[in-house]
Amino acid sequence: MQKPVNDSAAKNGFHSRNPHRFRYDFRQLVISCPELAEHVSVNQYGNESINFADPAAVKMLNRALLKHFYGISYWDIPENYLCSPIPGRADYIHYIADLLASCNSGVIPRGNAVSVLDTGAGANCVYPLIGSHEYGWHFTGSDIDPVSVDSARKIVNSNIRLPELIDLRLQKSPANIFHGIIKPDDIFDVTICNPPFHASAEMAESGNIRKISNLNSKKEAQTALNFGGQNRELWTPGGEEFFVRKMIDESSDFAGKCLWFTTLISKKTTLPEVYKALKRIKAAEVQTISMAQGQKISRIVAWSFFDKIRQARWSRERWK
């Protein structure tokens, strides 16, 4: 039913279509976003870089990357909200494109006929920004935090073309994931999610302190950390495993309304319970996709209630 996790292959690095698989060209980024210049300096190895332990510098780097690579003229987030590293987010989008291509004779479906639900889009709205630019997909972003929804909506409304490609919805019931968001007339080709990782605020805080400490001890940082983050962005009771199992249970109520459900899994130890839950709901196909950014290994778990024949029929009817 499930494909084995191949962590060794994932250590080769970023997806081949990810433009962030190369070293940052800070000179070009500063041309696109002059405000980044004050955060750029030459390190002890003679390379231009920023202080990745400085949240203001990381936020400005994100702004520059989104402007330079994805044509985002305005991007900002409220203070202390999650500042997601762009390279890893782009990787997820490109692997999702491959997943959809696997149902479409190897051809990546492009254009707004492809409908994506981003569960927990956050104040930063990064996944829809990248996916709408790279593939022209239509995104619906959901979040339980009104401030996040308002922030994401401001980003969308401040950029030409995005209002046609990105919708935002507030999840009014924190106990639900898909219920209250997926409407009776909705059809989604794929859902994506970066679930809360920690099980408590204390664990989230200690984890971030540990990351920053490790970062300061390294010679050079390769990617930015997730600085900031409100409670439900970083933690949820029961942690990642509980959240994903809840998502799996709810997905069965929408089995015919979505081709693929997917989520990131940060902890390998979460996988056994995830597979048990997927077996319980009788998913027709499960895939585990490994990806790596530097030394960090994570996984995308994807499941469908459609067998291969029905997947191919879906692609013919939806994307042709």
Q: Is this prediction's pTM over 0.75?
A: yes
Residue 121 pLDDT greater than 50, yes or no? yes
Percent of the chain at pLDDT > 70 equals 83
Domains and CATH numbers, the chain: 7-22+77-319 (3.40.50.150)
pLDDT bracket for residue 217 (50, 70, 90):
very low
pLDDT recorded at residue 199:
43
pLDDT bracket for residue 69 (50, 70, 90):
very high
For the chain, give the DSSP string: -BPPP-HHHHTT-S-TT-GGGSPP-HHHHHHH-GGGGGG-EE-TTS-EE--TT-HHHHHHHHHHHHHHHH--S-----TTS-B--HHHHHHHHHHHHHHHHTTTTTPPP-STTSEEEEET-TTT-HHHHHHHHHH--EEEEEES-HHHHHHHHHHHHTSTTHHHHEEEEE---TT-SSTTTS-TT--EEEEEE----BSSHHHHHHHHHHHHHHHHHSS---S---B---HHHHB-TTHHHHHHHHHHHHHGGGGGGEEEEEEEE--GGGHHHHHHHHHHTT-SEEEEEEEEETTEEEEEEEEESS-HHHHHHHHHHHH-
pLDDT recorded at residue 293:
73
pLDDT recorded at residue 196:
86
Residue 10 pLDDT greater than 50, yes or no? no
pLDDT bracket for residue 12 (50, 70, 90):
low
Residue 206 pLDDT greater than 90, yes or no? no
Average pLDDT score, the chain? 87
Digit-coded pLDDT (tens) for 37-64: 999 999 888 889 999 889 999 999 999 9
